[in-house]
Amino acid sequence: MDKFTTLTGIAAPLPMINVDTDKIIPAKWLKTIKRTGLGPALFEAIRYKKDGSEDPDFVLNKEPYRKAEILVTGENFGCGSSREHAVWALHGFGIRCVIAPDFADIFYSNAAKNGILLVKLPQEEVDKLMEDAEKGENARLTVDLERQLVVRPDGEEISFDIDAFRKHCLLNGLDDVALTLEKDTDIQSFEGGQKSATPWLYR
């Protein structure tokens, strides 16, 4: 998993509430178990017209938001089903941080395990960042995970809270597998002792 330390990038404004995981990526994409290649399917139902062409009015189809790495959106983002594909689609597009007043719990957990930082802020702070995002490329945001700050284009710093364990994992690029491998020496020691004490388990 990629480490998340400090990100400075274009923020796309998506002023919508209750964006569920089916809107983030439709259920038809759940047949794949690959984490890559899902960027084009992100927001498929609202990003494309019925004939498959791009909707020019959708934010991610506009410049400079085609290169957005930050998404500023409304409350309860990621509600609905627990599909991890929603996070994979965001990551596949290039989104590394989503800022909103609130997130669905399972989506919040899935995001952290895939290297995406979710920043919860009061609505009034999100409104400020939404206004910044609407200014396009000339108003980039900086998200500093170590200092737990979002820095506006004018230099104003907005602090955010994050669980210490989730912060540690994101800063160090640790998913569940990597966390387990950190205990590799202990695991091997345990297995060695178990083989000696109960060799029949390894026949």
pLDDT in tens, 144-168: 999 999 999 999 999 999 999 999 9
**Mean pLDDT in residue range 10-35:** 94
Residue 139: pLDDT over 70: yes
**Mean pLDDT in residue range 34-61:** 95
**Mean pLDDT in residue range 122-147:** 96
- Residue 154 CB contacts under 8 Å (≥ 6 apart), including other chains: none
Residue 131: pLDDT over 80: yes
CATH class name, domain 6-172: alpha beta
Q: Give the pLDDT of residue 31.
A: 86
Please give the Cα distance from 62 to 81 (Å, whole number): 28
Q: Give the pLDDT of residue 183.
A: 58
Q: Give the pLDDT of residue 102.
A: 97
- Residue 142 CB contacts under 8 Å (≥ 6 apart), including other chains: 6, 7, 8, 149, 150, 151
Question: Which residues is 158 bridged to in the sheet?
Answer: 150
The tokens of 98 are what?
Answer: 């989503």
Q: How many CB atoms are closer than 10 A to CB 28? A: 9
- Domain borders along the chain are 6-172, 175-203
Strands (E), 49-178: 70-73, 97-100, 117-120, 141-144, 149-151, 157-159
- Residue 70 CB contacts under 8 Å (≥ 6 apart), including other chains: 7, 9, 10, 11, 12, 95, 96, 97, 98, 99, 133, 141, 143
| pTM given for the model | 0.89
Residue 132: pLDDT over 70: yes
Task: Please state the separation of Cα 85 from the chain's center in Å.
Answer: 11
Q: Give the pLDDT of residue 180.
A: 60
Beta strand 117-120 with 141-144: parallel, antiparallel or unpaired? unpaired
Geometric angle at alpha carbon 65, from 62 and 71, rounded to 5°: 130
Please give the Cα distance from 179 to 110 (Å, whole number): 15
